[in-house]
Amino acid sequence: MVKILIPYALRAFVERKAEIEVNGSTAGEAISALAEAYPTIKTHLFADDGKLRGFINLFAGGTNVDKLQGLDTPIADGGELMIIPAIAGGRDAPELSNEEIARYSRHLLLPEIGVEGQKKLKAAKVLIIGTGGLGAPLALYLSAAGIGTIGLVDFDVVDASNLQRQIIHSTRDVDRPKVASARDRIRGINPLVNVIMHNTMLTSQNALDIISNYDIVADGTDNFQTRYLVNDACVFLGKPNVYGSVFQFEGQASVFGAKDGPCYRCLYPSPPPPGLVPSCAEGGVMGVLPGIIGTIQAAEVIKMIVGNAKPLVGRLLHFDAWRMSFRELKLDKEPNCPVCGANPSIRELIDYEQFCGLKKNKEEKPIETITAIDLKQRLDNGDRIQFIDIREPHERAIVKFPNALIMPLGQIERRMEELDPSATAVFLCKIGQRSILGIKALREAGYKGKMLNLQDGLNAWAREVDKTMPVY
């Protein structure tokens, strides 16, 4: 028997199980047995040609099977197979003032840092992309450590739901630009730090200009299109990319783009299909998790600036907060990587929304939507509508929608016969994203009834129709 460790992003398709034992003597046999036992996960693991999808990595004994014998890699009886999906300087070091010596004395007492290391930190310029869950601890600890210049990239404003984990912001900052809120907190911690605000979305048009002014990039993004953009821009500019990501209870950290080390595309050559890996807004995240991963990123930034340390180059650190376990996985530079390989095929920044499948395919039938206001009108008119709530039980405990058929996303295809094709089906989730996957799954399974997606989900219904319902 082989134990397969299932990441949180895929547990909805295996009855929320974290570990599953299957029969198999190789990685390929084990993963195929998993797909046979849980058919709903198969399309998320394998492409139409039967090959493992590019955003899925399998690790045996802490090593990517691609670097061993691929799917033919032997797995001993009782062994484990882990699925990992796509969840500086150069200038003269300035002298330290007496005020700085007093402030950073605990660093100066460390021989590995000392006065010279602290001077390097003072001279360094670090760009933090995103001032949310990961960017918050990054900015707090890097400013406290004495990084001379910190750049902040974010175009969002503070929302009350951010405060559960984005500890750089406070209740009084709600509705303020995040970069302004973060700047004020940084100045409160360390007024000696020069803070540069980039209150804008990072795009293919501005990324190179912004990143080129910094020594190191710390990636605190929360979406795949920006993550690939940051990776590619860092490779093109020769800037280290200190990577972190979180989802529910799991986190990852590594350092990409370093000389002779892999980049993000070496690990994940292609992104997952839109909607497969929910955002934190949809799937949730344990509040302390981004704090843990963000401080690991901050430690990597400090180590790379000071030097003579062992950064996470060629290593992926995987953390499970619920089990309180760390695993280190070996990463290799991919010779055929389209960005950092020997013969790169991508030599300039591309359209990352198109690359991540976020632009509408003209040949694909669009998903019909209905607004909360229009849905209320149809109900008042007496239209025959069946509601399909695709959320998991723990999420329905937050707020229930009356008279809805409860059909979690992983059950939709096998329970298709419970739907009434003569009635219009309206699909419900939190913000109207996961429900699109349910409609697509039923469409591919041959369901002929009319299906509508509630635009912006139950949160829109709570805001616009039934204000007694909570927004979450």
Any catalytic annotation for residue 280?
Answer: yes
Averaged pLDDT of the chain: 92
pLDDT digits (tens, 9 = 90+) for 97-128: 999 999 999 999 999 999 999 999 999 999 99
Any catalytic annotation for residue 263?
Answer: no
**Annotated catalytic residue, options 263, 266, 280, 337:** 280
Question: How distant is the alpha carbon of residue 6 from its chain centre?
Answer: 17
**Annotated catalytic residue, options 234, 263, 266, 429:** 429
Residue 298 has pLDDT above 90, yes or no: yes
Confidence of residue 288 (pLDDT cuts 50, 70, 90): very high
The reported pLDDT for the residue numbered 260 is: 84
Residue showing tokens 């990577």: 243
Neighbouring CB atoms inside 10 A of 95's CB total 10
pLDDT, mean of residues 418-433: 94
> What distance in Å separates the CA atoms of residue 132 and residue 248, rounded to the nearest whole number?
15
- Domains of the chain: which residue ranges? 2-85, 124-355, 369-464
Which helix (H) or strand (E) segment holds residue 319: the answer is: strand 315-320
Residue 360 has pLDDT above 70, yes or no: no
> What distance in Å separates the CA atoms of residue 33 and residue 24, rounded to the nearest whole number?
7
The reported pLDDT for the residue numbered 361 is: 63
pTM check: above 0.85:
no
The reported pLDDT for the residue numbered 88 is: 40
Residue 15 has pLDDT above 90, yes or no: no
The reported pLDDT for the residue numbered 359 is: 74
Quick one: which of 38, 2, 284, 297 has its CA closest to 147? Answer: 297
Backbone angles phi, psi at 198, to 5 degrees: -120, 85
Residue 305 has pLDDT above 60, yes or no: yes
Concatenated DSSP letters of 161-212 = GGGGT-TTS-GGGTTSBHHHHHHHHHHHH-TTSEEEEE-S---TTTHHHHHT
Q: Which CATH number fits domain 124-355: 3.40.50.720, 3.40.50.300, 3.30.450.40, 3.40.50.1820?
A: 3.40.50.720
pLDDT, mean of residues 319-325: 96
Quick one: which of 217, 252, 223, 222 has its CA closest to 235? Answer: 217
Quick one: which of 20, 149, 162, 161 has its CA closest to 80? Answer: 20
Quick one: which of 351, 325, 340 has its CA closest to 267? Answer: 340
- Token pair, residue 206, equals 């501005």
The reported pLDDT for the residue numbered 258 is: 87
Residue 132 has pLDDT above 70, yes or no: yes
For residues 70-93, one letter each, b for 16 or more C-beta atoms within 10 angstroms of the residue's C-beta and e for the rest, the string is ebebebeeebbbbbbbbbbbeeeb
> What distance in Å separates the CA atoms of residue 44 and residue 409, rounded to the nearest whole number?
13
Q: Which CATH number fits domain 2-85: 3.40.50.1370, 3.40.1260.10, 3.10.20.30, 3.40.50.1460?
A: 3.10.20.30
CA distances from 150 to 67, 68, 404, 413 (A): 37, 41, 49, 49
Length of the chain: 472
Among the ranges given (129-133, 256-260, 265-269), the one the predictor scored with the smallest mean pLDDT: 256-260
Residue 349 has pLDDT above 60, yes or no: yes
CB-facing half-sphere around the CA of 55: CA atoms within 13 A: 19
- Token pair, residue 442, equals 């039923």
| DSSP label at residue 138 | H
Contact 6, 55 (CB under 8 A): no
> What distance in Å separates the CA atoms of residue 350 and residue 245, rounded to the nearest whole number?
22
Identical topology for domains 2-85 and 369-464: no
pLDDT digits (tens, 9 = 90+) for 199-228: 999 999 999 999 999 999 999 998 999 999
The reported pLDDT for the residue numbered 186 is: 98
Q: Domain 369-464 is classified in which CATH homologous superfamily?
A: Rhodanese-like domain (3.40.250.10)
Confidence of residue 276 (pLDDT cuts 50, 70, 90): low
The reported pLDDT for the residue numbered 10 is: 85
Sign of the dihedral defined by the CA atoms of residues 305, 306, 311, 314, in that order: positive
Question: How distant is the alpha carbon of residue 101 from its chain centre?
Answer: 38
Neighbouring CB atoms inside 10 A of 246's CB total 27
- Residues contacting residue 418 through CB under 8 Å, at least 6 positions apart: 405, 407
pLDDT, mean of residues 246-252: 94
pLDDT digits (tens, 9 = 90+) for 365-416: 889 999 999 999 999 999 999 999 999 888 999 999 999 999 998 899 889 9
pLDDT digits (tens, 9 = 90+) for 44-101: 898 878 888 888 999 998 899 998 999 999 999 999 999 998 764 445 678 999 999 9
